[in-house]
Structures are given as structure tokens and as C-alpha cells.
Homo-oligomer: A and B are copies of this chain.
Amino acid sequence: MPADLRFMRRAIELARIGMNSGAGGPFGAVVVKDGEIVGEGYNRVLASNDPTAHGEVVAIRAACARLGSFSLEGCEIHTTGEPCPMCLGAVLWARISRIYYGFSINDAAAAGFDDREFHRQFALPAAERMVPSAPLAPEEAKELLGEYLALPGRARY
């Protein structure tokens, strides 16, 4: 299916609503299935005091709620800005099939939204990342994993 400008324009419209109301930055997104919008949203980090409420995450959650599924396989996401690592992770987990973005990470950096350092973080070994991380009680946690594997009819996804 060829890219459809309508959906990006709707994402831009949503972003404009969000930024003009002070909800967050210029980020809107729509999830499309079979040529129809099934979920949409804009950045609400400020409005909802939620650092995870990026446009893509809001749109993915809305689409999943509407479709009654945690999988958006076969869907496309149209987002005003190239996804940050968190949103790219959400796109991967949602099994979204294609991403269309308006401005790039470099464009966003020029406007003061510099996700590039975040993207660089993912290419580093854990020990070199800006947030230190360390194992704690690994044996107890591995016992938990074992319990999970032994659960009859355990949740799979």
C-alpha cells in the first residue's frame, strides 16, 4: 500500500493540538489498519506527568484498546517525529509492520529535542551507559523464572 499523506497530516494536526494546549511537544501519531485509523494520540508528558506518554505510545495504547489485542501486526504507525528508542521498542513489541515519520531525529535535535544521545546509549555495553545498572539477588530472580516455566497453562505472548 502506498504511503498516504492523510494519515501524516492527521498526526501533524494532533501534534498541533497537543503543543498548543501545553500537553507536550510537537509529537502526534496515528495507527492505521487496512487504510483506517484505529488509534491516535499526541504527546502528553506534561499534561499527565507521564514520561512514557509519547505520541506513539499513546496511539499504540489507544489502538490496542480499540482492537482488544496487544498485537498490532499488519498496522502502520504515522508519527510526526522519528521514534525515540522507547517508542521504537513499543513499536517492536506491538508488532507494528511499518513506520512513517515526518521530521527526523536530526531535525528534532535542531529544535532542542536531542534523542541522539539516547540512541547512542543503546549501542553501548550496559556498563558504559549513563544510568548505572547492576544485578541484585539473581538467584532469587532465577527461581522466579523457574516457577514461571513450571506454571501449567502459563501466559504466552
Q: Mark A84-101, 1 if CB is under 8 A from B, else 0.
A: 111111111111111111
The answer on a CB contact under 8 Å between A144 and B80 is yes
- Chain B residue numbers with a CB within 8 Å of A57 are 52
A1 close to chain B: CB less than 8 A: no
Residues in B with CB closer than 8 Å to A85 are 85-86, 88-89, 92, 122
Q: Establish whether residues A134 and B52, one from each chain, have CB atoms under 8 Å apart when the complex forms.
A: no
User: Closest 8 A-B residue pairs measured CB to CB?
Assistant: A102-B141, A86-B89, A122-B122, A99-B133, A26-B148, A85-B89, A100-B136, A51-B93
Can you report 8 residue pairs joining A to B where beta carbons are below 8 Å apart? A8-B140, A19-B148, A19-B151, A49-B68, A51-B90, A98-B134, A100-B133, A103-B141
